[in-house]
Structure 1
């Protein structure tokens, strides 16, 4: 089987020869600072090309894996406020996205620190008005704790391909390079981190209006929500 593809009209096609009845995977990722569209318009894709069922020649079967989506049901002072839906960039930050996804489902059970590896029931410990929400510390509840799903206490900065180029992007909240655990932040505007390097791994695709409303309701000079803001429930949608 012979497959040809080109990056644009200015470059000659690239041809790959693949033995018959053998599957292969094409990972499409942005390079050189170019970021694909997100939020329903695409993002990178993992493309698995498989041999036709039953063997034989002919065409191929293409399986495209979409980025996963998770949800937070948010409550203010015990009152359900609404839901946000987040697309995770598994195409560009698979390890970081998987950590966040598993912490949304709680599927990893109990952590080494004696707390469930689950965002459910945790609070947003910080709210900088018009700038960001910070949460994910389900061990200490104040931003000093947290735990990832991996064997080591911290996991590395995967890459900085994506940036806070608009409202609703999620990135890891950490203590410096390669100190990622479970802490995260949701930016409310472009460049919410004022140039600081954190790994951007997702984007709010539903519920940004809710976050802006909570920002106005709960934001104050102390940079903490004026009432408890809790992840009442969370999980995976797709």
Structure 2
């Protein structure tokens, strides 16, 4: 068994990669920057690729290239794809959103996961499990988060449609992991309340100790990913799996 994790350099992605490596699963980590701590701890299990997922043309070339093929050739067993990399994008009302930030957010949050998923379904003949890291913002409207919410909703519906294809060797789930204490939460708390009117809610979650740790969320997500239940529902919330 082996896994591909996007955004493995920090936050939830780093915690998921660490959890997989600790279970002796080979990982190919995809991020603009490497994860020096994991590379030092697991030199035989971790491979890394430096990619900017906002650069769709470069990503398409890489997906057809040799590094991915070499990694896939190393093990014909089950393959895990964790589409974790994501950005908040512009946090603002529609008229204040920057065009460049919109394009980058959609490339990272939507185009990259869909490209990875299609490429691996095409190139890997064995069992494939795809986990899209989704969000409650995909299922509930938040003012100022139209881009982030729309991008995560796209992953939810992608999972539903892929599941409807009924491929025997493919399982997929768009999983909302809950509110996790990561750099993204720091960004939210530092935002302008005029751009994100619900800022105080997230400030309170931190102050009251109600944020999940990346390690705890990663452990639960990987447990689910490896379980027989994975893929039984294409859209799920980690806090409701029990």
Q: TM-score range by the shorter chain?
A: under 0.3
Q: Which has the higher helix share?
A: 2
Report which of the two structures shows the higher radius of gyration computed on alpha carbons.
1
TM-score, length-scaled by structure 2:
0.25
Q: Which has the higher strand share?
A: 1
TM-score, length-scaled by structure 1:
0.25
